[in-house]
């Protein structure tokens, strides 16, 4: 853990949004909050924070790489001389890193009037969110997602947490942010692999809730990979709208919110089985979606044409890390620690069509092995 002493940034100064940003409202038990989406919105972050009424003591937490890229554009939003910097990557999303973050907050004399601003991808957002939820029994939180994955998914909904070697996100809390600001401009600096990983999560929304969004992905890949702001803004906005609607109706994942786990059951097991070092989260979800589709076809609930269409789009996005060296035993062991187990039963989300799903709670080990074999994992 260290504190940055300068804001050496390669990002371009922004003059503010050229058009009014999109606002998506999310209901939460602690109070509704806004997701503000649009090119150039980060240039108005101090004003957005004032409008959200989060208080004037503001501490930014980011990663060294993200701060180097975007620090100059964000430093005016902090009341502190420098941000707190944490290591990024799933393998750092653990209790050790959180402990160091607590130490930094104590050294900064953070109190209950302090708002913590998480600037980074999903790992930073989850990690900082968990610290905000637990330090002094809760500090206000603002999410500034800088990856496509975080903009469309992890920054919204209030789920925060850390990993354990036995499973992903096994330690966590529900702690809704006071504000989320998603600026597509910051995605220009995102490495192509990270960008692709986010597109898999966007694809998930298309499968579970929006055939229109899925079709937009199929037809807009060149514009998306060119990071065209209007196309990106539309995709991010629609994804945020879908997630906001779902989590507003089921904040604590007691029912409908489980649909967001499409592709995540096997995906999380892949991440855990490889100790969070091989896959970007979206890549693991891509494999998880392929496995869920194969499982749905086995069970007779997923049309083969849906499986083929999704598999084709995943292939178009580019190669995924290999899985042939993994064993079914390791994946099954990771599944046994899945946080979504309820009363001893795993909940698998299966697609019944583009935009429609069903939940399977009686999946057998044989069927899981069949789904794993379909994605290339056949070794015992």
For the annotated catalytic residues, the residue numbers are: 137, 159, 201, 243, 253, 257, 261, 264, 268, 281
Q: Give the E-state strand segments of the chain in sequence order.
A: 2-3, 22-26, 33-37, 57-62, 84-85, 114-120, 140-145, 159-164, 167-174, 179-182, 348-353, 356-360
Overall residue count recorded for the chain in this entry:
380
Query: Shortest CA distance to 73 belongs to which of 179, 172, 163, 189?
Result: 189
Work out the angle between the directed axes of helices 229-249 and 211-225 (0-180°, nearest 10). Answer: 150
Query: Shortest CA distance to 88 belongs to which of 60, 61, 63?
Result: 63
Q: Is 281 exposed, middle or buried (0-12, 13-18, 19+ CB in 10 A)?
A: buried
> Residue 172 corresponds to which tokens in the numbers above?
């966590």
d(CA 179, CA 184): 16
Give, in degrees to the nearest 5, the angle at Cα 123 between 14 and 195. 55
């Amino acid at each position: 853990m260290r504190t940055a002493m300068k804001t050496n940034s390669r990002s371009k100064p922004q003059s503010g949004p050229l058009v009014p940003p999109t606002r998506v409202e999310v209901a939460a038990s602690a109070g509704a909050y806004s997701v503000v989406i649009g090119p150039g919105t980060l240039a108005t972050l101090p004003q957005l924070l004032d409008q959200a009424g989060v208080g004037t003591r503001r501490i930014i937490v980011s990663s060294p790489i993200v701060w180097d890229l975007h620090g100059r554009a964000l430093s005016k939003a902090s009341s502190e001389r420098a941000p707190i910097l944490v290591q990024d990557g799933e393998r750092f999303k653990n209790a050790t890193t959180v402990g160091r973050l607590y130490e930094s907050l104590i050294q900064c004399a953070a109190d209950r009037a302090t708002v913590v601003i998480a600037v980074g991808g999903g790992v930073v957002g989850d990690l900082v969110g968990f610290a905000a939820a637990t330090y002094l029994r809760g500090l206000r939180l603002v999410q500034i997602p800088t990856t496509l994955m975080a903009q469309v998914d992890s920054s919204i909904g209030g789920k925060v947490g850390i990993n354990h070697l036995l499973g992903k996100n096994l330690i966590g809390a529900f702690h809704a942010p006071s504000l989320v600001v998603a600026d597509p401009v910051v995605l220009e600096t995102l490495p192509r692999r990270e960008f692709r990983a986010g597109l898999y999560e966007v694809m998930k929304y298309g499968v579970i809730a929006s055939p229109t969004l899925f079709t937009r992905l199929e037809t807009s890949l060149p514009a998306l990979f060119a990071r065209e702001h209007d196309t990106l803004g539309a995709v991010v906005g629609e994804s945020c709208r879908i997630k906001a609607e779902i989590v507003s109706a089921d904040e604590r994942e007691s029912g409908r919110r489980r649909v967001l786990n499409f592709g995540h059951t096997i995906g999380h097991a892949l991440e855990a089985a490889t100790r969070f070092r091989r896959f970007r989260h979206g890549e693991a979800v891509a494999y998880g979606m392929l496995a869920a589709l194969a499982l749905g076809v086995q069970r007779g609930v997923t049309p083969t044409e849906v499986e083929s269409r999704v598999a084709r789009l995943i292939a178009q996005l580019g190669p995924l890390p290999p899985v042939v060296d993994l064993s079914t035993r390791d994946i099954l062991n990771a599944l046994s620690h899945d946080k979504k187990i309820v009363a001893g039963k795993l909940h698998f989300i299966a697609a019944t069509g583009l935009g429609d799903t069903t939940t399977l709670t009686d999946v057998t080990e044989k069927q899981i092995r069949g789904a794993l074999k379909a994605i290339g994992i056949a070794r015992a």
